[in-house]
Structure 1
Amino acid sequence: MSSPGARGRPLSPNIQIYRPQLTSVLSIANRITGVILSAFAVLMVVWLIAAASGPQPFSTVQRSIGSLFGQILMLGFTFSFFMHLCGGIRHLIWDTGHGFELRSIYASGWAVVVASILLTALTWGVSIWMGVG
């Protein structure tokens, strides 16, 4: 008798029918934003060292941050911060034993996504309005 794979059937059909769920996507996103925030922390140290090193190094770093690529990175870092923060607040609520009903899980998940987008937009809007960005 031949093995199941020899007849052309998949060995694991679950892989082919699996659809990512909001909860799993947010869990993965929380880990990814944590890594992104760690990279941002390193860049923040570079910025601080440049500021302490004098006007020329600081000007170079500021020019890099002010470039289109730098601004896109800063937008990504801002979104990552708020996504990680909102996800953490969601987990703190879960730690109290609340919000485990399926409807609450999806509502809080979408709230994390919407709040992250709104807080990012608000932060950048205020920054631009104040002339910082």
Structure 2
Amino acid sequence: MMASRALGIGAALRQSALAPRTLRNNAVMRNVVARRSVTTNSLPPSAADSILNEQRLKRPNSPHFTIYQPQLTWVGSIANRVTGVGLSVLLYGFSIAYLIAPGTFDSTHVIEAVQTLPESVKYAGKFILAAPFSYHAINGLRHLAWDSGKFLSVKGAYSTGYAVLGATAVSSVILTLIK
């Protein structure tokens, strides 16, 4: 008796001792009693799409970033990706254009085309090119600092984020004003 209590099999022993022998030994009867009746319907393959669409309509939506208050960390991350893609598109676009028409896109023709522009357009163009380049380069230094294990706290992330924005503004103006 003590062994069955210690092993926790007392209830199983009582159940097997009190169960009728015919039901306990007859596998067919056990299966009939234990089974539930389930009905299935055969559906055409086109019904799968409508069932799936009904299930999708009943699912809850996950929160979208537009419901959150903008934070420097995720805005900076998006800006880093956008500037990287933009700079890559410019580099590859100019390279492909040079390969297609080397006489039109060589450096002498580009310099001559830029010299004919008004001063305000030149400065605006230089700033439009300098700002993403500066941001992406300086933010890359910030990521190198993170990779070395520095500034990983929330305070450190925000302080380096503001430092990147300030350094980007200063370096963009400097790059724009260089003759």
Give the distance between the partners of 1:13 and 1:22, measured in 2 at CA: 22
Q: Counterpart amino acid of 2:148?
A: T
The corresponding residue for 2:112 is 59
Is the Cα contact below 8 Å between 2:83 and 2:133 reproduced in 1? yes
Normalising by structure 1, what TM-score?
Answer: 0.68
Equivalent residues of 2:123, 2:176 under 8 A apart:
no
Q: 5 Å matches for 1:48-127?
A: 49-51=106-108, 58-64=111-117, 66=118, 68-125=120-177, 127=178
**1:50–1:61 contact (8 Å) kept in structure 2:** no
| Deviation of the 1:48 alpha carbon | 6.1
Counterparts of 2:89 and 2:116, CA distance in 1 = 19
Structure having the larger proportion of residues in helix: 1
In structure 1, the partner of 2:37 is none
* Alpha-carbon shift at residue 120 of structure 1 (Å): 1.1
Q: What letter corresponds to residue 63 of structure 1 in structure 2?
A: T
**Higher alpha-carbon Rg:** 2
Listed as ranges, the gaps of 5+ residues in structure 2 are 1-56, 99-103
Q: Percent identity?
A: 29
Structure 1 68/35 Cα, relative in aligned 2: closer, same or farther at 3 Å?
A: farther
Tell me the TM-score normalised to structure 2 length.
Answer: 0.53
Distance 2:175 2:143 in 1: 23
Structure 1 gap ranges (5+): none
Q: 2:13 maps to what in 1?
A: none
Alpha-carbon distance between aligned partners in 2 of 1:37 and 1:120, rounded to the nearest angstrom: 15
Question: What's the secondary structure of 2:116's corresponding residue?
Answer: helix
For the residues of structure 2 that align with 1:103 and 1:58, how far apart are their CA atoms?
A: 45
